[in-house]
A and B are shown apart, each in its own frame.
Chain A
Amino acid sequence: MPALMESVAIADWFREAANWVFLLIALPTVFGAWRTVSSNNIVRAVLYLVVALAGTAAMFLILGAAFIGLTVVLVYIGAVIILFLIGIMITRAPLGVEAKLSHGREARLSAALLSFILFAVIMWAVADAFGMSKIQPFEPTATADIANLLFDRFLIPFEVVSLVLLAALIGGIVLARRDDIGRDEPGGEG
């Protein structure tokens, strides 16, 4: 792919306006992700997850994948986050600042080391293979194209995913349902 491997100098990169938009999105995204895993307030952590996910949605929009971006907004920010908040609410997690949300300092340091090594390895591999190669100009993806592929070539996986969702729906109900009949639960809350 010689055409794809056209490289950009770092200085030129900053001259492009689209890249400033990118930075405007990327920095809050990573910041949100960082606060999600480090915040000591559980509700804030989940709300920072919203920031990170909204950042990825915006990034999909930059990449012309509008349908994916909007799906992320709808599914993640609309539904999944609500689930998380309900989960927190029901499990009566302490809502204020709570030091016990994470493991101790030693575990945090080693986890940071591990995730940094993984990050470095991935970036090393990608930089080695692609360097600063440019993304060629592209047309935004038409939703109709996705729909056509989804219901033609990817029909069977699509149906399988729908079955998995159905199973998850039923499984969620079965798991979360209170089975009080014939059982005494002394510790259960009212």
Chain B
Amino acid sequence: MMHRIFASTSQVLLAAGEEGSQATEGGYGTLVPGITSGPLVEWAWLIIVVPLIAAFVIAFWGKKLPMQGWEVAWGSMGFVAIYGTVLFVVNATTGIVYEGAVEIAKIGDFTLEWGWMVDGLSIMMYFLIGVVGFLVFTYAKSYMKDDVRYTWFFVSFSLFAGGMLVLVAAPNLIQLIVGWELVGVASYLLIAHYWEDYANVDAGNKAFMVNKIADIGLFLGVIIMAVSVGSFRFSDIIDVVVRGEEGMLSQYAFWAGLLIFIGAMGKSAQFPFHVWLPDAMAGPTPVSALMHAATMVTAGVYLLGRLFPFYLDVDGLFAGDVRNIIVVVGGVTLLLSGFLAIVQNDIKKVLAYSTVSQLGYMVAAMGAGAYTAGLFHLFTHAFFKALLFLGAGAVIHAVHSNNMSDMGGLRKKMPITFWTFIIGTLALIGIFPFAGFFSKDEILASVRYAGGSGQDAANFILVLGIAGAFITALYMTRVVALTFFGKYRGHAEPHEAPRMMTYPLIGLAFFAAVAGWINVPGVYTGFTTWLATRDPLTGMGDHHPESFDWLLVFIVTLVVLAAVAIGWWLYGRDADTRAERDTFRIPVLWPLFENLYYIDEFYMRGIVRPTMGPIARVVLWWDMHVVDGVVNLVGLGSVGLAKSVRSFDQNVVDGIFNEAGAVIGGAGSILRRSFTGRIQQYAAFSFVGVVIIVVVSIIL
């Protein structure tokens, strides 16, 4: 039996002697302490700090180092990998629950803390980030070899690793947001890594903006939650939930839960915030593998896991209702993005939509109240999706093109890449005995269980999940067929990747093959207990199947095999000719898929431009009327300004009926006349503003 105590037994609380009172409350089972102190966990903050220091060192001295700073980044990730593995193993054998904290500032009742969680959930993420990160960094050395900003790439990449570790180590919501934004910035920098091409800059901006919009939800949710609990610490929040305390948190739980989930939707690219992730493939392939497949995009799922008892809501007081929304969002996302993956020609975009789809599975699992299933899929997905991305990167490296129409027949030329890619594919589509089989099956079983135990939305999502498995198998068969079978259609001379690139592939393939065996229902369910941050007997209070749901296993395997067969029939039989025609076209749906459901277009035409237009008009009106009025009042008005008032009157009448873009253009040319370039005039305006504000506030 694994040993656990409450996640909330931080050093502080232990010292205060409150551990006993908390451990017995809540009715979550008997608690036996594992490792709760000692140098292993007390020095775990090094995991977070080392990559950040590495980023700093590379930024300042990287170019002077013999390997251009790569060795520092690689060494820091190696350190994280080793420390993460040690923690993972110790956690699996003894059990670790620890929460370290350093007080940074105290403002009234509010304490700002920087801390590091060392519990099942965090350790899993340390292990994942360390091992996958290490392999990807190894791969990146030779993949990025001729890059113009080689050193800068590793600065941003190490910054990302540090930010991600800050995020997963966070014992409070403030630190979580710091990490959340750090990875957001790193993501922006790395997506726009090739900024000479304006499209890449656009992709970076898009990722940043979409995430920012979702982050508004996160911020509001965090504020509501922190105000109602009176603390930013996860342990305090979870304690309120576990005690089933009625109060402010239970009153606002729905909104807090929903808003925080909106934040998670942005980072984890859930419908309708998924639009940024496919565009994010503009970044270098190692970035796509580590950030936009394995770790960063799972931050939303991680956050749901961190707040899991709040969402699971056994007492029916908290955010249980939000789970219906979560499960539907996850289900819709997994299906819709799966369809989009079928029609992409860019191999990385296929994998990107596939990632969105798999994230949909994880979110749906969380929504169905299946903590272990969701995080288990996160765990296995990180390995096989990173593997697929790195494999795709090796292919791209060989054929100098992202498009599958330039590939084909690479099976013989790149055998290692081919076989590892096949392992990744089998893991992704869920063929026994590869990793994805176990995790996806557990998700579907949990969704089925949730549907059977009163969550009606889950029944519907179960169907979507099985359909998603079909689609996953279909598009992956297409990718394999078009890339590795048939005739070579490209122009470059393909060759097997160098060893620095194939070794990481082999390493990830190993994990993709075996990672599923750590959680086999009815045989060995170690992962469930390793992951629990609170209770060794019931885990997180979620349901665990006693054995395989054989009916479901049968159906899903059948569906997947059928999909592979259909996919092979469509794309594999004579791949060289089929690929060019891409015959699998459904009349009505196909344009829909190819235009990505017109969502991006809707965002541009329906939201971005209509809001930009009126805002421009309001700004225009304000500048012209108010600023000009002020000018006249003060007597500094010049002939040019008087003219601009006249021309404004002419222009605004037309402008209202003009297209928004024309207004913005026109606004610039009118506005420029009020910008005389005379600083003192501006100063005078601002003083007039002061007078107006003072007078108004006195009168009111």
| Chain B residues, CB < 8 A from A5 | none
Q: Mark A124-137 against chain B: 1 for CB-CB distance below 8 A, else 0.
A: 11001000000000
Q: A99-145: which residues lie under 8 A (CB-CB) from chain B?
A: 103, 106-107, 109-111, 113-115, 117-118, 121-122, 124-125, 128
Question: Is B634 within 8 A of A114, CB to CB?
Answer: yes
**B628 to A: closest C-beta gap in Å:** 15
Q: Mark B658-700 against chain A: 1 for CB-CB distance below 8 A, else 0.
A: 0000000000000000000000100010011011001100100
**A109 to B: closest C-beta gap in Å:** 7
Question: Is A110 within 8 A of B694, CB to CB?
Answer: no
Inter-chain CA distance A128–B697, complex, in Å, is 13
Question: Is A121 within 8 A of B691, CB to CB?
Answer: yes
Question: Is A103 within 8 A of B694, CB to CB?
Answer: no
Question: Is B698 within 8 A of A125, CB to CB?
Answer: yes
**A117 touching B691 in the complex, CB below 8 Å, given contacts A107-B636, A110-B634, A110-B635:** yes
**B568 to A: closest C-beta gap in Å:** 65
Interface size on B, residues (CB 8 A): 13
| Chain A residues, CB < 8 A from B636 | 107, 110
| Chain B residues, CB < 8 A from A118 | 687, 690-691, 694
**A84 to B: closest C-beta gap in Å:** 19
Q: Interface on chain B toward A: helix, strand, loop, or mixed SS?
A: helix
Inter-chain CA distance A170–B477, complex, in Å, is 61
Inter-chain CA distance A113–B634, complex, in Å, is 8
Residue of B nearest to A120 (CB): B691
| Chain A residues, CB < 8 A from B684 | 110-111, 114
Inter-chain CA distance A107–B681, complex, in Å, is 10
Q: Mark B627-646 against chain A: 1 for CB-CB distance below 8 A, else 0.
A: 00000001110000000000
Question: Is B694 within 8 A of A114, CB to CB?
Answer: no
| Chain A residues, CB < 8 A from B691 | 114, 117-118, 121
Question: Is A114 within 8 A of B688, CB to CB?
Answer: yes
Question: Is B694 within 8 A of A121, CB to CB?
Answer: yes
Question: Is B635 within 8 A of A121, CB to CB?
Answer: no
Inter-chain CA distance A96–B369, complex, in Å, is 84
Contact of B635 among A109, A122, A128, A156 (CB under 8 A): A109
**A162 to B: closest C-beta gap in Å:** 18
| Chain B residues, CB < 8 A from A115 | 687
| Chain A residues, CB < 8 A from B694 | 118, 121-122, 125
| Chain A residues, CB < 8 A from B690 | 118
**A124 to B: closest C-beta gap in Å:** 8
Inter-chain CA distance A109–B688, complex, in Å, is 15
| Chain A residues, CB < 8 A from B695 | 121
| Chain B residues, CB < 8 A from A106 | 635
**A107 to B: closest C-beta gap in Å:** 7
**A130 to B: closest C-beta gap in Å:** 14
Closest 4 pairs (CB-CB, A-B): A110-B635, A110-B634, A121-B694, A118-B691
**A–B pairs, 25, beta carbons within 8 Å:** A103-B680, A107-B636, A110-B634, A110-B636, A110-B684, A111-B684, A113-B634, A113-B635, A114-B634, A114-B684, A114-B687, A114-B688, A114-B691, A115-B687, A117-B691, A118-B687, A118-B690, A118-B691, A118-B694, A121-B694, A121-B698, A122-B694, A125-B694, A128-B698, A156-B105
| Residues of B in contact with A (beta carbons under 8 Å apart) | 105, 634-636, 680, 684, 687-688, 690-691, 694-695, 698
List 17 additional A-B contacts (Cβ < 8 Å) besides A109-B635, A113-B635, A118-B691: A110-B634, A110-B684, A113-B634, A114-B684, A114-B687, A114-B688, A114-B691, A117-B691, A118-B687, A118-B690, A121-B691, A121-B694, A121-B695, A122-B694, A124-B698, A125-B698, A128-B698
